[in-house]
Chains A and B, each alone.
Chain A
């Protein structure tokens, strides 16, 4: 079995673009869209402070912290999986699988949180805070589901027997998307749960 470390798929000038350059147009674009979401939340906090703070207090802050740590851990698994995949180490797919398990745990915690809020009559139609909360965290959850599908593909691509000229570029693209899911949650959590 070849244990050679694969060279980065391409070098452009002074550095290496993880994945395909076209992917970064999408990733940076998504970051800008979510930036508008974060700004919208902050505008609501400023214009409807009392409603914002009282609604925010009904959220389950501890579950938000748990979900943040779950996503950070999933990102670490993906990083380790990438290091091992570069060496064509057969253990690499396990780490992408571990990241998927983290994604499922994140979705599970979110489902429990949504259920609890709805049972307490804190639905999306109550006020703007809950509308934004369900809409923005729902869009983010969609990213988590999409990311888990991509990670499932990564468990196959990362196999040592996997061939293809763009193997590492594909894995880097998937890893970058999963890290995007992580970093978007970081600011979503800060603006929705923490800023008073």
Chain B
């Protein structure tokens, strides 16, 4: 039973890992291969995907999904503020 629980948890983590790798490849194609002409849109997608990846690592790998509300809010708030701040600098700097 316990082994089954561990296997199930491992399978879930492997799915998150696969999603993170796919996001990495998408970012590489958009940022590295210049698939989108609009630079601001490309930057927003690249930074946005990075913020989503950070959130996935935090919630699923760091196990913040089950953390107290304050800690989870601080982490998720960081992801949002980071995206908004970096795109704000990108547009206005």
Contact check, A42 vs B90: say whether CB atoms are below 8 A apart. yes
Contact check, B63 vs A3: say whether CB atoms are below 8 A apart. no
With a cutoff of 8 Å between Cβ atoms, the chain B residues found around residue A187 in the complex are 47, 50-51, 54, 82
Contact check, B24 vs A196: say whether CB atoms are below 8 A apart. no
- Once A17-B68, A83-B10, A179-B62 are accepted as A-B contacts, the answer to whether A42 and B86 lie under 8 Å apart by CB is yes
CB distance from B76 to the nearest CB of A (A): 12
| In the bound complex, CA of A61 to CA of B32 (Å) | 7
Residue A164 lies at the interface, judged by CB distance under 8 Å to chain B: no
**A-B contact number at CB 8 A:** 143
CB distance from A119 to the nearest CB of B (A): 22
| Most-contacted residue by chain A among B17, B27, B39, B63 (CB, 10 A) | B63
| In the bound complex, CA of A83 to CA of B81 (Å) | 32
| CB interface residues, A 53-87, toward B, < 8 Å | 61, 65, 68-69, 72-73, 75-76, 78-80, 83-84, 86-87
Contact check, B10 vs A179: say whether CB atoms are below 8 A apart. no
Contact check, B46 vs A194: say whether CB atoms are below 8 A apart. yes
| CB interface residues, A 1-35, toward B, < 8 Å | 3, 5, 12-18, 24, 28, 31-32, 35
Q: Which single member of B14, B32, B47, B78 contacts A28 (CB below 8 Å)? A: B78
Contact residues on B (Cβ < 8 Å of other chain), bracket: 35 or more
Contact check, B71 vs A24: say whether CB atoms are below 8 A apart. yes
Contact check, A31 vs B69: say whether CB atoms are below 8 A apart. no
- Once A187-B82, A190-B46 are accepted as A-B contacts, the answer to whether A17 and B58 lie under 8 Å apart by CB is no
- Once A187-B82, A196-B34 are accepted as A-B contacts, the answer to whether A17 and B67 lie under 8 Å apart by CB is yes
> 1/0 per position for B44-87, CB-CB distance to A under 8 A?
00110111011001101111101111011011001001100110
| In the bound complex, CA of A72 to CA of B14 (Å) | 10
- Once A46-B89, A61-B32, A89-B6 are accepted as A-B contacts, the answer to whether A14 and B69 lie under 8 Å apart by CB is yes
Residue A98 lies at the interface, judged by CB distance under 8 Å to chain B: no
Contact check, B82 vs A35: say whether CB atoms are below 8 A apart. yes
> 1/0 per position for B1-22, CB-CB distance to A under 8 A?
0110110011001100100110
Residues of B within 8 A of A (CB): 2-3, 5-6, 9-10, 13-14, 17, 20-21, 24-25, 27-28, 30-32, 34, 39, 42-43, 46-47, 49-51, 53-54, 57-58, 60-64, 66-69, 71-72, 74-75, 78, 81-82, 85-86, 89-90, 92-93
3 pairs of A and B residues whose beta carbons are closest in the complex: A46-B93, A194-B31, A190-B50
